[in-house]
Structure 1
Amino acid sequence: MKQASKLIRQQILALLADGQFHSGEVIAQQVGLSRTAVAGHISQLSDWGLDVFKVKGKGYRLNRPFTLLNAEHIKKHQNKNRLAVINVAPVLESTNSELKKRIANSREELANGDTVLAEIQTAGRGRHGRQWLAPVGGSLTFSMYWSFPDGYQSMTGLSLLVGVAICEALQTMGVDDAQVKWPNDIYLGHKKLAGILIEVEGQIGATAHCVIGVGLNVYVPADEFDVGQPHTDLAAVLGSEPDRNELAAKVIASLWEHLDGFAAHGFDRYVPIWESLDIFADKKIVLQMGEKRFCGVDRGVDASGALLVETEDGITRFHGGEVSLRGY
């Protein structure tokens, strides 16, 4: 998408975010385009998930107002300084894809903790290539960069560590009962609240350049959005929508803190914390791995982040891959 179109759509999004009616003529004057061109941009934003409608004689209006993400506001909510850069983009294909492009660009230097957030993802992804639904203004979607000089072997347990960091950030927002589901989901009241997608660039034996993608439901009403499984959002739990900039600040700060500790000491010290948050702790579970199906009892994880399942043959370790986990 051309930079000019990005800026125009960012302007239109900012104008509509207050939830009031804005005439096509006024919007056109603000962005310096014809009303027809404005209608085309709004149509594209609608295709990407912006819930906007038009009333003859009044103009365009969002179904609900929301506060736009703002990098400076996010930084103001943080209580520690770091050299990492926080960027907010109005529209991206996916925040993970954006960071992977930056990694591939050898002229662009990235620092641990650099973060990219997006208001709109046109092709957000979850695990195994699934689409990640992120309603405009109703979610927090971002990706963070972190490098591991010792390579892939020093990243074992990373997705679990990220889950711990998110749960601890949510506690500071008044959400005390979020839980983790191995290997990369956050649940609340046995419904999915957030997902984690970790992707790695680099050669075996060299520095692993890691992209940590997070999608968190802020306002995604279950009766309005079908995401393919039971889900919940923070607005339903807290009774009102939290400030997404404050939420972003707390989650990012928690990740910075815990990733520093993880990079220095590994996942071992976080095992008891993760197990205390495990939604299926000591419960019977079923894992589907390809054509194979395993039944047993969830006995936590080891220092590598492998799931420990007690079966008739003893403890079996599972390290991820195409694994789905369900309680029964």
Structure 2
Amino acid sequence: MAEKVLVTGGTGFLGSQLILQLLQRGADVRTTVRSLAKKEGLIKTLQDNGIQNTDQLSFAVADLSSDDGWDAAMADREYVFSVASPVFFEEPKSEEAAIRPAVDGISRVLQAALRNHVKRVVMTSNFGAVGFSKHRGADQVTTEADWTDPEVPGLSIYEKSKLLAEKAAWQLMDAHKDEMSFATVNPVAIFGPSLNEHISGSFMLIENLVNGSMQRIPNLPLNVVDVRDVADIHIRAMFTPAAAGKRFIASADGQISLREMADLIRRERPQAAAKITTKKLPDFVIDLGAPFNAQAKAGKLMKNMNRNVANDQAKTILGWRPRSTSKETVLAAVDSMLQYDLIK
């Protein structure tokens, strides 16, 4: 019998890839959308990418900001992938305006799942909930046991919202662990190929490199992961019994810096590299600017954070292996940007 799953936010960069892989394994998939106007677009995207059984995909209207529609969306579902994040049509005016919707959104999803006797929820969290700590040296390894310090200087509102939303989710599930199992996936910067012109926020790093808006390139190390690998971890976390109660960092092995990304694109995708600067931004400029400039403060945090990231838990418990190296992941993202004319 086909697994009955719900994917929240199925029209997004990760959500659509997750639905594609679930349909490939024969699952009965329902996804939430904020408007049914997006239905045909997703179906066409999946069909354009080789999915023939789109009759096994259904849609429900539900929004993280409202209780409406969630019980109908979860009716008869056994498994729920909580992928969607709150949508802001303008920049939040305060931390509270960003954090409260994130916390309320995941709480709304989990409460509805509990009411409808769902077996397991897998939540898409973020490496931002793991990797930003004041006191982790470069010789230490960052694992799923780590939690971001919400007061670390330079932490973005987005990262803080993901941290507090995940903490709220675990707190709620600790009180209901006998009723439903729960796991989280904590991806680093998600790149890789897009199924359509809809890309993730992480692509802004590449966009800023290739459109020339990054006038000097900092020595900024990054951990990246292919969107296909992130979807794969989600599915394994859902259907592996031993995954209950666990967090899973989704990251390709090793790391790649912004300067290495720039060199890679120049060498392997010269048609996208015409505007990439060769100028470098020295570390001391970021350090000097951090006390006075929010962007420099965030840059210093990114520069100094521990990038010695372990993905062993996903490998050991889930039997997962990343299909793509960091370089392959970046190039696949550039290829998608070229394919959909997103490089200006």
* TM-score normalised to structure 1 length: 0.28
Tell me which protein shows more strand as a share of its residues.
Answer: 1
Tell me which protein shows more helix as a share of its residues.
Answer: 2
> Which structure ranks higher in relative contact order (CA pairs < 8 Å, sequence separation ≥ 6)?
2
